[in-house]
Amino acid sequence: MAVLAGAWLACTSSKPDGSATGVPSFLAPGVEPTPTGTAGSGGSTATGSGGEMLPNPMLVPSGGGSGGTTPLLGPPSGRSDTLLREGWRFFAGEVTGAEQPGYDDGQLGWQDVTVPHTWNAQDAQDGGSNYRRGAGWYRRHWSEPASTAGRRVYLQFDAANSVADVYLNGRRLGQHRGGYSAFRFDATAALREGDNLLAVRVDNAAVPDVPPLSADFSFFGGLYRDVHLVVVPALHLDLEDAASPGVYLNTSEVSAASAELHARVRVRNGSAESETARVAVSVADADGVLVANLEGELPLAAGQTGELGLDGEIAEPHLWNGRLDPYLYRVTAQLTSARDPLGDRDVLVQPLGIRFFSVDANSGFSLNGRPLDLHGVNRHQDRINRGWAIGEAEHDEDMALIVEMGASAVRLAHYQQAQYFYDLCDREGLVVWAEIPLVDAITADPAFTENSRQQLIELIRQSYNHPSILFWGIGNEQRTDDAPSNALLGELAALARSEDASRLSTYAHCCSSDTGGLPQHADLSAYNEYFGWYTGNYDQFGAWADALHAARPTARLALSEYGAGASLNQHQDPPQQPATDGTFHPEEYQSVFHEAHWAALETRPYLWGKFIWNMFDFASDTRNEGDAPGRNDKGLVSYDRKTKKDAFFWYKANWFSEPFVHITSRRFEPRTTANIDIKVYSNLPRAILRVNGSLVSELESPTHIFRWPGVPLLQGVNQVEVVARDANGAAIAMDRVSWSR
Ligand code: GCU
């Protein structure tokens, strides 16, 4: 908080009802006083988001709540974060000398691009398993203002797939191996006043030490997330701890009465002389009211990095309660030098969600002491014609669709996803399973193990402060239940526990014995099962789950994947189980597949999570099935996000409360039979069918499915209308289609 002399220790606590016990004069109007240093203790598991750096930290926008601001006192933050989106030159291929400032990137083959960028937007989504995997070069000039003198300048890459070599003014800053997590380099020493030349060689060729070695999705190459120029004071919150925010928030002993807050603040003294860092961590509620303030000092020698632990208490915490009430506090970490309290300071803002959770082998998942059914989807981060180079608008659109369907949880497969999307999950109250890209094959090569560990550490430290993330996924479908695979999963499970004991690790199993070694290493066990697609038929799922529950009675089980392919252009009634690798994937089969699965899942609370494969169709260039080569069509929504398949509405009818009605098979056009069966999904209990203006009948259904068998169609175009009504008979929702015969 304020760095005014003597003000450090003069704070008092405040209750949510606003009653304060003493108001130091230096706090701005509207800022309630807060307790100083360590105050009281509390509950378990708290977090915040991965590094939100504000353009002007004097005014901090409220997370989650009212949109108020918390005025911050003292000189402006010495931290700036500039996105480098425009002005890039790109070459698809290998080039010699492109890292040199004098290199002429006006030559043939170089083109202007903006970042985020991928060079595989088209060739990795069209099938043929032949998209270009190899090197790409990026170059960008920028002129460095004199104002950075005496400060540290970092280059931050939010992700580059999969190996990136970074050069500044011809000087190699370093390499990052791994395609899904952020990385930073201190560029200060290589910087020069005036024009600077940043060159990045990115390579998505297969390499034996970087997972994933293989998987059922395309590995888009490029700088597919943002690049930042981050300038901080010499004394700053550490930016080099696995590219994390440098501030780790946790709560414990959480109850309605109080929660203990623990902040670990890493500080780097990038100056040439020793310093005493003054750290203040203040917590404001959604209305900007300060509810806690933790302060401390940390002496650091020149060039030294250290960590300060601060503890405090939040009285009567407003809990983060999933979709019901995703309440967020906002934590502001401020750092100044004791030698120069009014000088440069570093400021970082993190959301904080206070919650506690548990998973039981019989009763499943509980949040804040209450059972919560975790039902949701898997989501890949690609989008048609853009690959992984998507922006906030696309993330927002994906989130809106997931929320509309009524999901309470999401598995972000099979890799670390954008911090922005984790932020959205915090704000929307979706429980998150986040994972590393350890998919399918592994090797016993120590370099592979090391990189898997690195990716897990980066995932956890970069995403540590997200309240929505409750589970760390350490792997997906290792194919062989052998010693190297078990050793690696054992090591990663232990690493997850040592990095973050406040969450649970999980693993998605398939393809070897359900009771073998592989699903035993993580805290939780989940299974990818495709009854009615890759194996057997969908009615077998329930019995399989019960048998597994009986075989592993103390294991905490979830269904991490289940799904079926569906084309919007292929239809069949009644639907037959198609050849999975065939080109005919009728939409109707996907619907009946999910109807059967949800009926079995909703009656098995011992499954702590149920995750559909997949929310969206996605690119998998090796595939050649359904109606689009290069695509996995198990999505409930099309690859372009334009069309929700019928099965989307099946889940909406079961999971979403806003009334609606949906006529299925609307794209089954034209019809070839004189009579058709009409099936409707709704979350209302009654529905009336009219065809060509004539009443067919009204049905009541407790199952969200309304069926009218053998409805006659006239030759030509038939107008079909369904009105759904609530229990009192009030007409609430309507849907219309036309079918020609
Ligand atoms: C697997 C795998 C997914 C894949 C899916 C499928 O279980 O984990 O990555 O896409 O099956 O075959 O559709």
Q: Could you identify the atom of ligand 1 that is nearest to the CA of residue 510?
A: 7
- Of 62-71, 81-90, 261-270, 609-618, which range is least confident? 62-71
- Mean pLDDT of the region 318-345: 95
d(CA 378, CA 635): 9
Position 523 scores a pLDDT of: 98
Give the Å distance between the CA of 634 and the centre of ligand 1: 9
The pLDDT of residue 67 is above 60: no
Position 61 scores a pLDDT of: 41
pLDDT band at 47; cut points 50, 70, 90: very low
Q: Do both 140 and 102 map to the same domain?
A: yes
The response to whether residue 180 sits with its C-beta less than 6 Å from ligand 1 reads no
Structure tokens at 502: 């406040």
631-658 pLDDT per residue, tens: 999 999 999 999 999 999 999 999 999 9
Evaluate whether residue 525 is within a structural domain.
Answer: yes
> Strands, DSSP E only, in 35-92?
43-44, 46-47, 59-61, 69-71, 80-83, 88-91
Q: Do both 581 and 602 map to the same domain?
A: yes
150-173 pLDDT per residue, tens: 899 999 999 999 999 999 999 999
Pocket test for ligand 1, best of 216, 476, 618 (most atoms within 8 A of CB): 216
pLDDT band at 78; cut points 50, 70, 90: confident
Position 723 scores a pLDDT of: 96
Q: Do both 32 and 104 map to the same domain?
A: no
Q: Tell which residue, 304, 150, 154, has the closest CA to residue 234.
A: 150
Number of domains in the chain: 4
Give backbone dihedrals phi and psi of 654, rounded to 5 degrees, phi first: -90, -30
- Nearest alpha carbon, ligand 1 atom 12: 216
Give backbone dihedrals phi and psi of 299, rounded to 5 degrees, phi first: -75, 135
Average pLDDT of the chain, as a whole number = 91
The pLDDT of residue 63 is above 60: no
Pocket test for ligand 1, best of 507, 528, 593, 623 (most atoms within 8 A of CB): 528
- Nearest alpha carbon, ligand 1 atom 2: 216
CATH of the domain at 480: 3.20.20.80
The pLDDT of residue 581 is above 90: yes
Q: Do both 217 and 247 map to the same domain?
A: no
Q: Work out the angle at residue 662's Cα, subtended by the Cα atoms of residues 411 and 542, and round it to the nearest 5 degrees.
A: 50
The pLDDT of residue 70 is above 50: no
The response to whether residue 241 sits with its C-beta less than 6 Å from ligand 1 reads no
The pLDDT of residue 20 is above 60: no
Q: Could you identify the atom of ligand 1 that is nearest to the CA of residue 215?
A: 9
Q: Give me the amino acid identity at 727.
A: A
> Tokens 């004069």 correspond to what residue?
25
- Of 49-53, 304-308, 619-623, 678-682, which range is least confident? 49-53
Q: Could you identify the atom of ligand 1 that is nearest to the CA of residue 620?
A: 10
The response to whether residue 452 sits with its C-beta less than 6 Å from ligand 1 reads no
**Whole-structure pTM value:** 0.90
Give backbone dihedrals phi and psi of 202, rounded to 5 degrees, phi first: -115, 140
- Of 296, 323, 352, the residue that ends a domain is 352
The response to whether residue 561 sits with its C-beta less than 6 Å from ligand 1 reads yes
The pLDDT of residue 28 is above 80: no
Q: Could you identify the atom of ligand 1 that is nearest to the CA of residue 476?
A: 8
- Of 290, 323, 352, the residue that ends a domain is 352
How does strand 504-509 pair with strand 524-528?
parallel
Evaluate whether residue 107 is within a structural domain.
Answer: yes
CATH of the domain at 345: 2.60.40.10
Evaluate whether residue 67 is within a structural domain.
Answer: no
701-740 pLDDT per residue, tens: 999 999 999 999 999 999 999 999 999 988 789 999 999 9
Q: pLDDT exceeding 90 applies to what percent of the chain?
A: 86
Position 416 scores a pLDDT of: 98
Q: Could you identify the atom of ligand 1 that is nearest to the CA of residue 534?
A: 12
Q: Could you identify the atom of ligand 1 that is nearest to the CA of residue 618?
A: 10
Rg (CA), the chain: 27
Q: Tell which residue, 212, 85, 88, has the closest CA to residue 161.
A: 212
Write out the DSSP string of 426-483: HHHT-EEEEE---BS-----HHHHHHHHHHHHHHHHHHTT-TTEEEEEEEE--S--SH
Evaluate whether residue 62 is within a structural domain.
Answer: no
Q: Do both 499 and 374 map to the same domain?
A: yes
pLDDT band at 40; cut points 50, 70, 90: very low
The response to whether residue 468 sits with its C-beta less than 6 Å from ligand 1 reads no
Bridge partner residues of 359 (DSSP): 365
The response to whether residue 634 sits with its C-beta less than 6 Å from ligand 1 reads yes
> Tokens 């592979």 correspond to what residue?
448
pLDDT band at 13; cut points 50, 70, 90: very low
Asked if 138 and 114 touch (Cβ cutoff 8 Å), the reply is: no
Position 143 scores a pLDDT of: 85
The pLDDT of residue 149 is above 80: no
The response to whether residue 435 sits with its C-beta less than 6 Å from ligand 1 reads no
Separation in Å, CA 61 to CA 6, 249, 329, 392, 666:
28, 19, 12, 18, 45
- Mean pLDDT of the region 235-241: 98
Asked if 247 and 348 touch (Cβ cutoff 8 Å), the reply is: yes
Evaluate whether residue 66 is within a structural domain.
Answer: no
Q: Work out the angle at residue 323's Cα, subtended by the Cα atoms of residues 322 and 325, and round it to the nearest 5 degrees.
A: 70
477 tagged catalytic: yes
Position 150 scores a pLDDT of: 86
Give the Å distance between the CA of 621 and the centre of ligand 1: 13
Write out the DSSP string of 597-666: HHHHHTT-TTEEEEEES-SB-EE-TT---TTSTTEE---SB-TTS--B-HHHHHHHHHH--S--EEES-T
The pLDDT of residue 1 is above 70: no
Q: Is 262 helix (H, G, I), strand (E, B) or coil?
A: strand
Q: Give me the amino acid identity at 305.
A: T
The residue annotated as part of the active site, out of 32, 260, 477, 595, is: 477
Q: Do both 296 and 377 map to the same domain?
A: no
Position 146 scores a pLDDT of: 64
The response to whether residue 645 sits with its C-beta less than 6 Å from ligand 1 reads no
Range of the domain at 207: 83-235
89-112 pLDDT per residue, tens: 999 999 999 999 999 999 999 999
Evaluate whether residue 63 is within a structural domain.
Answer: no
Evaluate whether residue 53 is within a structural domain.
Answer: no
d(CA 412, CA 430): 11
- Full strand arrangement of the beta sheet holding 275-284: 46-47, 346-354, 329-337, 275-284, 290-300
Which own/partner pairs from 599-605 qualify as long-range (CB within 8 Å, at least 24 positions apart)? 600/541, 600/542, 600/545, 601/375, 601/559, 602/373, 602/654, 603/542, 604/542, 604/545, 604/546, 604/549, 605/362, 605/363, 605/364, 605/371, 605/373
pLDDT band at 75; cut points 50, 70, 90: low
Question: What is the DSSP secondary structure assignment for residue 294, as one 8-state letter?
Answer: E
- Nearest alpha carbon, ligand 1 atom 3: 216
Give the Å distance between the CA of 518 and the centre of ligand 1: 17
Position 232 scores a pLDDT of: 96
Q: Do both 650 and 710 map to the same domain?
A: no
- Nearest alpha carbon, ligand 1 atom 6: 216
Position 444 scores a pLDDT of: 97
d(CA 415, CA 39): 38
The response to whether residue 632 sits with its C-beta less than 6 Å from ligand 1 reads yes
The pLDDT of residue 180 is above 80: yes
The response to whether residue 625 sits with its C-beta less than 6 Å from ligand 1 reads no
Evaluate whether residue 465 is within a structural domain.
Answer: yes
> How long a stretch of residues is the chain?
741
- Of 626, 655, 684, the residue that ends a domain is 655
Q: Do both 639 and 523 map to the same domain?
A: yes
Q: Do both 373 and 447 map to the same domain?
A: yes
Q: Is 388 helix (H, G, I), strand (E, B) or coil?
A: coil
Position 5 scores a pLDDT of: 37
Give the Å distance between the CA of 378 and the centre of ligand 1: 10
Q: Do both 35 and 152 map to the same domain?
A: no
474-508 pLDDT per residue, tens: 999 999 999 999 999 999 999 999 999 999 999 99
Q: Is 553 helix (H, G, I), strand (E, B) or coil?
A: coil
Q: Tell which residue, 635, 741, 732, has the closest CA to residue 687.
A: 732
Q: Do both 428 and 331 map to the same domain?
A: no
CATH of the domain at 127: 2.60.120.260
d(CA 33, CA 6): 15
Q: pLDDT exceeding 70 applies to what percent of the chain?
A: 89
d(CA 321, CA 607): 20
- Mean pLDDT of the region 245-249: 98
Q: Do both 624 and 496 map to the same domain?
A: yes
Write out the DSSP string of 492-551: HHHHHHHH-TTSEEEEEE-SS-TTSSGGGSSSEEEEE--BTTTBS-GGGHHHHHHHHHHH
Position 76 scores a pLDDT of: 57
Position 77 scores a pLDDT of: 67
Position 525 scores a pLDDT of: 98
The pLDDT of residue 665 is above 80: yes
Structure tokens at 675: 């009579």
